């Protein structure tokens, strides 16, 4: 890259390297499969014998993916969580990340809080930061996550009559987001479901044995189950009364608006997956062993698209599908 005049080049570079070596390169994790990490032109890595490498990237932009007043800690945590969630939906074991960080100025206090959040989640999953890029500009964070997988879960392998399951509760992230504007008194637990979602890594890993397809719910169930249907060339029937909603969610949303947020807001980072009907008991066992609610919400059909039914077996149509960038409506 061309830098001019010369004096600006020198000052900027010192700040950039100071941030990289005194702040970013401070992670306690030191994996043996990282031969060279931060500090050289490339990271040099070992992939274990018999595994494929699963790679995923997600970007968080200020004002689009998180509000301007989100804490640096939660931005760091979430930037990693959304990427680990993609690895989880493939059934991969997380290993390494690279980080492209664009910040308006070299604010080391902000950076330290951001890294504290990021490294806290990284520690839980033994994930090492192995490189990246640091630039100046409007706040934006891209992370590329790398994991190992023997037999990856895909979106494309659901079969007719498979049962459809979701982990956890849907819509709590939508409720948590409201803490930023409409309902500041919202319970901390719900705010955290938006700010610090829990990537379902342990579940994804176990599902490689039993699930036929899997996706993480980042854009809302309608959109994400829709991807499974499109890519598996099938349809789905979903029973609305089976959609798992938390007590907090039920206490805030009215009957008329009950399912819209849970099905279209996204950001829950739960897993939606399909399993052959004769393996249903395996899912129940998994739910118990992970202490994680897992709910059967419907089944795969040979039609097109998703049909929702209410408790009276009446078909319900949703106009809004889910979050989509560049979509004006
Ligand atoms: P280069 O000019 O060769 O691309 P840089 O000067 O940008 O290298 O970066 C120096 C080292 O610091 C590299 O190993 C790079 O991967 C690492 N690095 C830079 N920014 C980050 C970041 N935000 N997170 C992690 N590592 C980073
Ligand atoms: Mg270089």
Q: What is the mean pLDDT of residues 186-192?
A: 82
**pLDDT at residue 318 above 80?**
no
Which atom of ligand 1 sits closest to the CA of residue 100? 23
Ligand 1 centroid distance, CA of 38 (Å): 6
**pLDDT at residue 8 above 80?**
no
Average pLDDT, the chain: 92
Q: What is the mean pLDDT of residues 260-280?
A: 96
Q: How far apart (Å, rounded) are the C-alpha atoms in residues 180 and 175?
A: 10
Domains of the chain (ranges, CATH numbers): 16-149 (3.30.1330.10), 163-316 (3.90.650.10)
pLDDT of residue 10: 47
Helices then strands, each counted (H, E), the chain: 10, 13
Q: Which of 318, 127, 123, 101 is nearest to 226 (CA)?
A: 318
Ligand 1, atom 13: closest residue by C-alpha:
39
Q: Looking at the CA of 98, which ligand is closest?
A: 1
Q: Looking at the CA of 1, which ligand is closest?
A: 1
User: β-pairing, 93-103 with 128-136?
Assistant: parallel
Q: Looking at the CA of 133, which ligand is closest?
A: 1
pLDDT of residue 258: 86
pLDDT of residue 2: 53
- The proportion of the chain whose per-residue pLDDT surpasses 70, expressed as a percent, equals 92
Torsions phi, psi for 17 (to 5 deg): -70, -35
Task: Give the pLDDT band of residue 11 (cuts 50, 70, 90).
Answer: very low
Q: How far apart (Å, rounded) are the C-alpha atoms in residues 287 and 63?
A: 36
**pLDDT at residue 205 above 80?**
yes
Percent helix, strand, coil in the chain (nearest 5)? 35, 25, 40
Ligand 1 centroid distance, CA of 94 (Å): 21
Q: What is the pLDDT of residues 16-71, one digit of tens each?
A: 888 999 999 999 988 999 999 999 999 999 999 999 999 999 999 999 999 999 99
Ligand 1 centroid distance, CA of 130 (Å): 9
Task: Give the pLDDT band of residue 289 (cuts 50, 70, 90).
Answer: very high
Answer for the pair 214, 155: CB distance below 8 angstroms, yes or no: yes
Ligand 2 centroid distance, CA of 118 (Å): 24
**pLDDT at residue 115 above 50?**
yes
Task: Give the pLDDT band of residue 326 (cuts 50, 70, 90).
Answer: low
Ligand 2 centroid distance, CA of 148 (Å): 26
Q: What is the mean pLDDT of residues 147-175?
A: 97
Task: Give the pLDDT band of residue 181 (cuts 50, 70, 90).
Answer: confident
Which atom of ligand 1 sits closest to the CA of residue 39? 14
Does 73 or 181 have the greater pLDDT score? Answer: 73
Q: Looking at the CA of 42, which ligand is closest?
A: 1
Q: What is the pLDDT of residues 97-111, one digit of tens each?
A: 999 999 999 999 999
**pLDDT at residue 225 above 90?**
yes
Q: 295 by DSSP, 3-state: which? A: strand
The pocket around ligand 1, CB under 6 angstroms, is made up of 20, 24, 38-41, 99, 101, 129, 131-134
Ligand 1 pocket test: which of 14, 17, 38 has the largest number of ligand atoms within 8 Å of its C-beta? 38
């Amino acid at each position: 890259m061309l830098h001019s005049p010369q004096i600006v080049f020198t000052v900027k570079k010192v700040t950039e390297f100071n941030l990289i070596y005194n702040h970013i390169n401070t992670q306690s994790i030191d994996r043996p499969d990282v031969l060279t990490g931060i500090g050289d032109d490339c990271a040099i890595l070992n992939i274990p014998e018999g595994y494929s490498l699963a790679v995923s990237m997600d970007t968080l932009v200020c004002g689009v993916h998180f509000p301007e007043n989100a804490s640096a800690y939660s931005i760091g945590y979430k930037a990693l969580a959304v990427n680990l969630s993609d690895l989880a939906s493939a059934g991969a074991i997380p290993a390494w990340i690279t980080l492209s960080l664009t910040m308006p100025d070299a604010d080391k206090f902000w950076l330290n809080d951001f890294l504290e959040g990021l490294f806290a989640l990284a520690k839980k999953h033994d994930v090492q930061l192995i490189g990246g890029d640091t630039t100046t500009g409007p706040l934006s964070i891209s992370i590329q996550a790398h994991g190992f997988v023997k037999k990856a879960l895909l979106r494309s392998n659901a079969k007719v009559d498979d049962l459809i399951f979701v982990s956890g509760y849907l819509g709590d992230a939508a409720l948590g987001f409201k803490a930023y504007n409409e309902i500041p008194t919202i319970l901390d637990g719900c705010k955290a479901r938006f700010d610090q979602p829990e990537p379902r890594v342990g579940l994804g890993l176990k599902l490689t044995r039993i699930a036929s397809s899997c996706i993480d719910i980042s854009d809302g169930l309608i959109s994400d189950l829709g991807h499974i249907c499109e890519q598996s060339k099938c349809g789905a029937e979903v029973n609305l009364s089976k959609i798992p909603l938390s007590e907090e969610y039920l206490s805030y949303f009215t009957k008329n608006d009950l399912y819209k947020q849970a099905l279209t807001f996204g950001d829950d980072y739960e897993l939606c997956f399909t399993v052959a009907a004769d393996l249903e008991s395996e899912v129940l066992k998994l739910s118990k062993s992970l202490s994680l609610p897992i709910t059967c919400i419907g089944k795969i059909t040979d039609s097109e698209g998703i049909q929702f039914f209410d408790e009276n077996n009446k078909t319900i149509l949703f106009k809004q599908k889910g979050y989509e960038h560049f979509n004006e409506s």
